Structure 1
Amino acid sequence: MHTANTVKEACGLSTFSQARVNVWEVYADKALRGEVLTKDEAFHILGAPDEELLPLLQAAYRVRYHYYGNKVKLNMIINAKSGLCPEDCGYCSQSIVSKAPIEKYPLLDKETLIEGAREAVRRKAGTYCIVASGRGATDKEIEQVAEAVKAIKQEMPLKICCCLGIISEEQAQKLREAGVERYNHNLNTSASHYSHITTTHTYEDRVRTVQHVKQAGISPCSGCIIGMGETWDDVYHLALSLRELDADSIPVNFLHAIPGTPLENMDELNPRYCLKVLALFRFINPSKEIRISGGREVNLRSLQALGLYPANAIFVGDYLTTEGQTARADHQMIEDLGFEIELMHYSLNMSSNST
């Protein structure tokens, strides 16, 4: 565990008051110049005293504003295939080792996936995420998703993201030809910590899938889950790995410890630390879409709105097996900040009512 003293020593500061010579703005300047923060600087952010939180967020916001202004991107997930997964990921309610009482079903039919896209439009989401549990999709499932995507693209101008597990370059190519613009496959944690959360596949398997996606011409989406027993060193190297992968979109999840999963008793996060993590990811990946993802409501709680100062995107509605804040509440949060939802130019005459 890093103490305040070790952070001060690492940063060469005799007192934190010396860090108030706008060191956060120095980090913002480095990010805007394309320079990478050092490990000591990253630890300074993660260990920042709570009274420095607002100046830190202001500096992260300056970087965010440079690339995205006050626009907020909305994404919506559909749990296209639930449970039935042979992997042993300790954080996941759908894994083979989970005893969580979740609904289990095979891949949803084409019309259900299309209707989910219509709901994404109603919720003002610009990206619709088709997510399926499992180690990886079969060729038949890839074909089913591809057919649904073709139909969605004919009807709606949504950006389509798929998250179907480990895939080959050939499967990625088929999705791209169907109209899939983005593919999500999270690294989840650092290479050195990976075996502590999953043993049925490797960190390298995940990196390889992201590379297949890029080779097929699909925009890579890859992120993390914070709060699984990782160290600050793990967090820093994970942020660097995502920079090196050149992931266009980085979902930052905060562990929602679900009863019945191996990590059900993990409880090491607080809202202020979560905000510091988001700031760090903005500084290290300044031009990328940083999306506050799973666990936002249970970990950021009353400080959710502050997360949009470093981050520029959120999921709207429910997650895979857990409920999210209502779309109406998310829209209100964005409006109250004075921010603006980045809307697609929908040609549909659809209800704007949100659930």
Structure 2
Amino acid sequence: MNQPPDITELQALPLAELMGQALATKLARRGTSFSLCSIINAKSGRCSEDCRFCTQSAHYQTEAPVYPLLDKAQILTAAREAKKNGAGRFSLVTSGRGLASADLPQMLEIIRTIREEVGIKVCASLGILGEAELRQLKEAGVSRYHHNLETSNEFFPQVCTTHSFSDRVATIKAAQNVGLSVCSGGIFGLGESETDRLSMAMTLAECGIDSVPINVLIPLPGTPCGELPPMPIAEILRSIALYRLILPQAAIRLAAGRESALSDFLSSAFMGGADGMMIGGYLTQRGRSPEADRKFAEDIIQLWSI
């Protein structure tokens, strides 16, 4: 059995050496795999939770769109577009503490139809759910449930007070108990320390997470996090490399904020451990064009293969 890395020793390494070790680990453990996924904001706004970074929270005055669960035709169109754009997975995301029971039958029908007519792998991010609902999602065709930790157990009360870190871990465990793979990560730049980021990484490792999305805060007007300063690029790259070394078998996928936070250094993240991206936008924020992201992924794979 592989021994966990000595975190203190890794923290002491210069950035270039740390990133070199992370890339070597990525290539040794995961080869040149590069995964693309896409999401749809299937139900937006008026969320009861007070996550301080989120424009969809009903606690804050923002310009986030508000609408009920989209109809099947709209979601099928988006799923087909995601597959055409090269995404291997398509995730249905809804706002709210958890999917409303009234929406569950429609959601199950949508999932079944995507699997039958589009043929893309289906993920779901529907908030805090129990085993009964999660089992129905799996039976309908969901293969992976997405539920971010967001930050460390220690820092979580500074980010959200309407539910707890343990609530999030319990949902992850419930999903795993019914046989679902779990995608879980968080957001860098919420005001947390490196110790907090490493604490979250260790929790993800303890939970056996095999897909880790890393978002970098986009400070959005109207939210309590709207005035936070940007996270230094070197700190972002260091954290990504540490996540790779702590989670050597997991897909480390960059999501919201990667373009604005890393800018010209985006490729550096993939030379330091990351090996996946979310394409096509992030709930209420647009991303780069899928064509640009596909070309970027091809270029990175070529660099890895040299």
**Length-normalised TM-score, structure 2:** 0.95
- Correspondence for 1:188: 150
Question: What's the secondary structure of 1:314's corresponding residue?
Answer: strand
Measured after TM superposition, the shift of residue 135 of structure 1 is: 0.4
- Correspondence for 2:260: 298
- Correspondence for 2:190: 228
Structure 1 segment 201-240 matched on structure 2, within 5 A: 201-240=163-202
Measured after TM superposition, the shift of residue 34 of structure 1 is: 2.6
Measured after TM superposition, the shift of residue 157 of structure 1 is: 2.6
1:275 equivalenced with 2:243 (yes/no): no
Measured after TM superposition, the shift of residue 58 of structure 1 is: 2.3
Supply the distance in 2 between the matched residues of 1:59 and 1:43 (Cα, whole angstroms): 12
Supply the distance in 1 between the matched residues of 2:89 and 2:34 (Cα, whole angstroms): 12
Structure 1 segment 16-27 matched on structure 2, within 5 A: none
Contact 1:90–1:261 (Cα < 8 Å) also in 2 = yes
Question: What's the secondary structure of 2:34's corresponding residue?
Answer: strand
1:35 equivalenced with 2:19 (yes/no): no
Q: Give the stretch that moved more between structures: 181-190 or 58-67.
A: 58-67
Supply the distance in 2 between the matched residues of 1:195 and 1:336 (Cα, whole angstroms): 40
Supply the distance in 2 between the matched residues of 1:306 and 1:332 (Cα, whole angstroms): 16
CA 1:255/1:102 → structure 2, altered by over 3 Å: closer, same or farther? Answer: same
Matched letter for residue 88 of structure 1: D
1:164 equivalenced with 2:126 (yes/no): yes
Contact 1:253–1:296 (Cα < 8 Å) also in 2 = yes
Supply the distance in 1 between the matched residues of 2:90 and 2:29 (Cα, whole angstroms): 22
- Give the gaps of 5 or more residues in structure 2: none
Contact 1:137–1:165 (Cα < 8 Å) also in 2 = yes
Supply the distance in 1 between the matched residues of 2:179 and 2:27 (Cα, whole angstroms): 28
Contact 2:10–2:18 (Cα < 8 Å) also in 1 = no
Measured after TM superposition, the shift of residue 140 of structure 1 is: 2.5
Contact 2:194–2:239 (Cα < 8 Å) also in 1 = no
Contact 2:150–2:186 (Cα < 8 Å) also in 1 = yes
Q: Give the stretch that moved more between structures: 244-253 or 138-147.
A: 138-147
Measured after TM superposition, the shift of residue 114 of structure 1 is: 1.1
Supply the distance in 1 between the matched residues of 2:128 and 2:6 (Cα, whole angstroms): 32
- Correspondence for 1:136: 98
- Correspondence for 1:325: 288
Question: What's the secondary structure of 1:186's corresponding residue?
Answer: coil
1:264 equivalenced with 2:232 (yes/no): no
Q: Give the stretch that moved more between structures: 304-313 or 242-251.
A: 304-313
Supply the distance in 1 between the matched residues of 2:173 and 2:94 (Cα, whole angstroms): 20
Supply the distance in 2 between the matched residues of 1:43 and 1:157 (Cα, whole angstroms): 43
Measured after TM superposition, the shift of residue 78 of structure 1 is: 0.4
Question: What's the secondary structure of 2:154's corresponding residue?
Answer: coil
Measured after TM superposition, the shift of residue 333 of structure 1 is: 1.4
Contact 2:184–2:213 (Cα < 8 Å) also in 1 = yes
How big is the alpha-carbon RMSD for the aligned residues of Structure 1 and Structure 2?
1.5
Matched letter for residue 190 of structure 2: M
- Correspondence for 2:274: 311
Measured after TM superposition, the shift of residue 38 of structure 1 is: 3.1
Question: What's the secondary structure of 1:71's corresponding residue?
Answer: coil
Q: Give the stretch that moved more between structures: 290-299 or 134-143.
A: 134-143
CA 1:142/1:233 → structure 2, altered by over 3 Å: closer, same or farther? Answer: same
Counterpart pick for 1:251 among 213, 219, 227: 213
What do residues 265-317 of structure 1 show as CA deviations (whole Å, max 9, x unaligned)?
11141222211111110000000111111111111111111222311110011
CA 1:101/1:148 → structure 2, altered by over 3 Å: closer, same or farther? Answer: same
Contact 2:41–2:283 (Cα < 8 Å) also in 1 = yes
**Length-normalised TM-score, structure 1:** 0.82
Question: What's the secondary structure of 2:294's corresponding residue?
Answer: helix
Corresponding pairs, count: 302
Based on CA coordinates, which of the two structures has the bigger radius of gyration? 1
Supply the distance in 1 between the matched residues of 2:301 and 2:145 (Cα, whole angstroms): 31
Matched letter for residue 44 of structure 2: S
Contact 2:36–2:278 (Cα < 8 Å) also in 1 = yes
Identity of aligned residues (%): 36
- Correspondence for 1:147: 109
Contact 1:79–1:131 (Cα < 8 Å) also in 2 = yes
What do residues 17-45 of structure 1 show as CA deviations (whole Å, max 9, x unaligned)?
xxxxxxxxxxxxxxxx7322334234325
What do residues 215-262 of structure 1 show as CA deviations (whole Å, max 9, x unaligned)?
111101111111111112111111000000111111111111111110
- Give the gaps of 5 or more residues in structure 1: 1-32, 341-355
